[in-house]
Amino acid sequence: MDYPASIRLQGLYREHRDWLRRVIFRRTGCPEKAADLTQDVFLRLLSRDATPHLKEPRAYLARIAHGLMVDDWRRRDLEQAWRESVEGLSEQEAPSPEDRVSVMDALARIDALLEGLKPRARHVLLCSRLEGKGHACIARELGVSLSTVEKDMALALRHCHDVLID
């Protein structure tokens, strides 16, 4: 019998929630983080148009959980780098709590946007857009041709466009 997606999702949740929480806990060492990420896995499934029919539901759930854990670790690393960068600022110079949240959110979105780019293409894009360097300067720095830098920039911009469209 083919059950509706909502029934399949309820079944997945009931049957695999505790197992998934234990798997995540073994990776994170934090029961609260494991509970949150377990809920996030099922929220991600809930936000999809359809719940797929799964032959290996635990492998599927573990894959989603792994992606969420990686995102969490990356965000934590970004937060640490941000804290270190504002550490020496005076109280007047330091960003407000609201600005900190906005900056962290923007950094996380940029990080996710750049994920999947080849390292050189990412470097070319960041040098050009953040440091204002020209393509010829970047080519000299990297020891590659101007054509290579232009191709990497086109690749990076196409990647960003595709990610933003999705």
pLDDT score, position 64: 92
Domains of the chain: 1-95 (no CATH), 116-166 (1.10.10)
Angle between the 119-129 and 146-165 helix axes, to the nearest 10 degrees? 90
pLDDT by residue for the chain (166 residues), tens only, comes to 555 667 778 888 999 999 999 999 999 999 999 999 999 999 988 877 666 677 888 999 999 999 899 888 888 887 888 888 888 888 888 888 898 888 888 887 888 788 888 989 999 998 999 889 999 999 999 999 999 999 999 999 999 888 888 7
Looking from the CA of 4 toward its CB, the CA atoms found within 13 Å total: 3
**Which residue stretches of the chain are H helix?**
5-28, 31-47, 57-86, 97-114, 119-129, 135-142, 146-165
Q: Estimate to the nearest angstrom the gap between the alpha carbon of 66 and the chain centroid.
A: 11
Check if the beta carbon of residue 119 is closer than 8 Å to that of residue 155.
no
pLDDT of residue 107: 80
Exposed e or buried b per residue across 55-65, where buried means at least 16 C-beta atoms within 10 angstroms of its C-beta: eebeebbbebb
